[in-house]
Amino acid sequence: MGDFQHSIDVRRPPEEVFAYLSDAEHLPEWVSGLQQAKRAGGDEVDVVAVGGGEQHEDRAWMHADADARSVRWGADRVSDYHGELFVTGIGDEDSRVTVSLHTPGTDDPEHHDQVQQDLERTLADLERRLDGSATG
């Protein structure tokens, strides 16, 4: 099992950043390997992802708490996989996004390092998108 965490700072107000991150349909725009995400009702989200050269369809869950500016998620197919993110204000115009991830099967140090690098790359992509320097 592995626990991972990484933060980024973006030049957008926290309310705007949270609104973007709490919308499940935006996930494929910044989560690598995720091709589609659609709300299925309540906290359930139907996702289509590509991993290991194969496409996977799954039912996941995603819960947003506007008061805490937090989003928690997990996937039914992968036992004990879950994560959460928090958006905090840095003044009125900037935000910090902190993501914590818990995933099974990362006992191997090389795999552990790869998951951390993937998390950092994903948040760097998110930072570019939110700062307006990403295309698409």
Structural domains in the chain, sorted by start:
2-131 (3.30.530.20)
Q: Which residue has the tokens 């935000």?
A: 95
Q: What is the band of 1 on the pLDDT scale with cuts at 50, 70, 90?
A: low
Summarised one tens digit per residue, pLDDT across range 84-127 is: 999 999 988 999 999 999 887 767 788 788 888 989 999 999 99
Phi, psi (degrees; rounded to nearest 5) at 5: -150, 145
Distance of CA 123 to the CA centre of its chain: 8
**12 versus 50: which is more confidently predicted?**
12
- pTM of the predicted model as reported, rounded to 2 decimal places: 0.86
